[in-house]
Structure 1
Amino acid sequence: MFHQHTLPDYRQHSDVLESMIIKLYSKGVTTREIADLIEKMYGSHYSPAQISNISKQMIPKVEAYHQRKLSDKFFCVYLDATYIPLRRITFDREAVYIAIGIKPNGHKEVIDYRIAPSENVENWAEMLQDMKSRGLEQVELFLSDGVVGMKTVLQQTYPKAHFQRCLVHVMRNICAKVRINDREMIMNEFKQIHQQPNKEAAINVLHAFYDKWNRAYNHVIRNLKEIEPDLLVFYSYPKQIRASIYSTNMIESFNNVIRRKAKPKAEFPTEQSLNTFIGIQAMSYNERYFNRIHKGFGHVQDTLESYFD
């Protein structure tokens, strides 16, 4: 008697195939490409619409992710936005607000994300308030770029938290406002600011930078002096973790993965499809790093715990 072992009785597709489809979808493969691959590999025919419906099985999991209870404290939280093509009525690139945190024990996770037509401080305020309502009571340090009003919003939501402006963003902004011939020298000198043994030495380097370039770029230096209180906050923490907390590079690497995987899709047809796609990336990231300690944090766990009540 013939009995097929590939699929259970009365099943049109296997869990293995569904898992494969969801995995391919999360890698940025389009529904049409997935349908072609499945047919070539397994001989099973799926239309792009069927592939899309299978990927929609992740929607309840993504909704649960957005509503889950959060840890009560994170040592540092990185805030950044990236832009992904989305079609509502017309096609445009929309902002995906992302928050990634590292706990005092060194474990990191994508705390949450949200989608909006553009980046503004009001949307950040709503997202931060939602994070707090879901249990995140204490944050020692926030890291972000120069979004206008961000520091004020952080102080309103988490008044005890400190704020570090991303030095990489600051350096990019400086280079965009100086002559091309001066950029390499300015960049190399500005990098010295985060490579000092302590805050006092960093202040000396920063002030020497002011003195050298003030005459040529007075406006740039004046703007830099205005944000000086937010440039060297990371020196207040153990040297083992300083390399991780003077910039938002860690969250930008996650953003780069999202953009790379989203690129083959050209655009997302609905906000729900984009939300599902980002949710899969976030949950995959959290699963991958669930028990891994971020570089340097394992050596100073007790010290980091002491910053909290």
Structure 2
Amino acid sequence: MQVVTELKNRGVEQIYVACVDGLKGFPEAINNIFPKTIVQLCIVHMVRNSVKYVSYKDLKAVTADLKAVYSAINEAEGLRELQNFAKKWDEKYPVIFDIWQRNWSGIAPFFSFPEDIRKAIYTTNAIESTNRQIHKIIKNKGVFPDDKSIQKIIFLALTNASKKWTMPIKNWAMALNQFAILCDTTLQNWANGEIILTQRI
């Protein structure tokens, strides 16, 4: 809750879509401060958590059948594919169907988005990669005399990490236009790659 409150205090007016990794209580915290936010579970995390239980020889087939679930054209089709998955794999891997069924309310919003947006909210891996870099630097440093020194180290880590952010999200321009339509916003300020979404009045 504190992290989300801090975002609000720092001037964030609205979060339209939040892709989360299943941290308990986080979706509720987001919706408490930003009630209009669509909270979407990270699909990559769902697949990763599922295949933990799968033998190597079944891995390719299981991931392909899970892909049929999350790449379905709509939620109803996704549920049908999930039932097909259960018929095929439940005897061997019952826990996978259980994971997806229990988390379906967090997966379902994914189907309401166009394909371009789906690609943009499919995973939180970029954020996780940045967090790993920060964690590594803090761990190597060990002891900090005060909070200010930690902030400086994190700032430098983020500055270095941002230099590697050279690969844009595939079809990002299309996704951005779809976001604007979906969220009823206008696009402003394309200069230097900075894009601001402004809500229409």
Give the TM-score category using the shorter length.
Answer: 0.7 to 0.9
Distance 1:132 1:161 in 2: 13
Q: Give 1:155's aligned residue.
A: 31
Q: Give 2:63's aligned residue.
A: 187
Distance 2:163 2:94 in 1: 48
1:38-63 Cα deviation digits (max 9, x unpaired): xxxxxxxxxxxxxxxxxxxxxxxxxx
| CA contact 1:268–1:274 (8 Å) conserved in 2 | no
Distance 2:111 2:72 in 1: 9
Percent of counterpart pairs with the same letter? Answer: 24
1:32-91 Cα deviation digits (max 9, x unpaired): xxxxxxxxxxxxxxxxxxxxxxxxxxxxxxxxxxxxxxxxxxxxxxxxxxxxxxxxxxxx
Runs of 5+ in structure 2 lacking a partner? 186-198
Please, which of 174, 177, 184 is the counterpart of residue 306 of structure 1? 184
Q: Give 1:229's aligned residue.
A: 105
> Which of 1 and 2 has greater Rg?
1
More strand by share: 1
Distance 1:231 1:273 in 2: 40
Q: Give 2:120's aligned residue.
A: 244
1:26-37 equivalent positions in 2, closer than 5 A: none
Q: What SS does the corresponding residue of 1:142 show, helix, strand or coil?
A: strand
Q: Give 1:276's aligned residue.
A: 152
Superposition RMSD on alpha carbons, in Å?
3.2
Q: What's the offset of the Cα at 1:130?
A: 1.0
Q: What SS does the corresponding residue of 2:15 show, helix, strand or coil?
A: strand
Using a 3 Å threshold, how does the CA distance of structure 1 residues 151 and 301 change in structure 2: closer, same or farther? closer
1:1-309 equivalent positions in 2, closer than 5 A: 125-258=1-134, 262=137, 266-270=140-144, 272-283=148-159, 295=172, 296-300=174-178, 302-306=180-184
Q: What's the offset of the Cα at 1:155?
A: 2.2
Which residue type is aligned with residue 177 of structure 1?
Y
Bigger relative contact order, structure 1 or 2 (CA pairs below 8 A, ≥6 apart): 1
| CA contact 1:154–1:161 (8 Å) conserved in 2 | yes
| CA contact 1:240–1:299 (8 Å) conserved in 2 | no
Equivalent residues, number: 181
Distance 1:172 1:288 in 2: 25
Runs of 5+ in structure 1 lacking a partner? 1-124
Q: TM-score, normalised by structure 1?
A: 0.50
Distance 1:220 1:199 in 2: 18
